[in-house]
Amino acid sequence: MTHEPLLTKEESAVLRMLASAGLMKKIIPSKTMEKLLALKFVEKKVDGLVVTEKGTEILDRYSR
DSSP 64: -
Q: Is residue 45 classed as helix, strand or coil in its secondary structure? A: strand
| pLDDT given for residue 49 in this prediction | 85
Is 2 a residue whose pLDDT tops 80?
no
Per-position DSSP letters for 29-60, written without gaps between them: PHHHHHHHHHTTSEEEETTEEEE-HHHHHHHH
Mean confidence (pLDDT) of the chain: 83
Q: What is the pTM of this model?
A: 0.79
4-60: pLDDT as tens digits: 568 888 898 889 988 886 556 678 899 999 999 999 999 998 888 889 999 999 888
Which three-class secondary structure state does DSSP give residue 50?
strand
Q: Is the four-CA dihedral 47, 38, 28, 22 of positive or negative sign?
A: positive
pLDDT at 1 over 50: no
